[in-house]
């Protein structure tokens, strides 16, 4: 199952990258499948590349209930 997670990118400014992670192996390897966007809580900016994200959801067999809406 693939889920989007926030990965800390910068320590001082606290910006985050939105990455997709295989939930079966993310605790063991701490590797992401692909970066699909970023989130900046200070400026309340979010950028998400939906075409890459939708392609990843089509490739995997299961998706979470939250993203079935797309």
Domain boundaries, the chain: 2-62
| Contact between residue 38 and residue 18 where contact means Cβ atoms under 8 Å apart | yes
pLDDT over 80 at 8, yes or no: no
Closest CA to 19 of 5, 31, 8: 5
Query: In sequence order, which residues have a C-beta less than 8 Å from that of residue 62 and are 6 or more positions away?
Result: 1
Q: What is the pLDDT of residue 58?
A: 75
Per-residue pLDDT reduced to its tens digit, 11-68: 666 666 666 656 566 555 566 677 778 777 778 888 878 887 777 777 764 555 555 5
């Amino acid at each position: 199952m693939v889920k989007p997670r926030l990965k800390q990118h910068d320590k001082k400014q606290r910006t985050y990258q939105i990455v997709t992670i295989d939930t079966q192996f993310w605790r063991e390897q701490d590797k992401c499948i692909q970066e699909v966007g970023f989130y900046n809580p200070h400026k309340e900016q979010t950028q998400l590349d939906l075409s890459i994200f939708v392609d990843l959801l089509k490739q995997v067999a299961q998706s979470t209930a939250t993203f079935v809406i797309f």
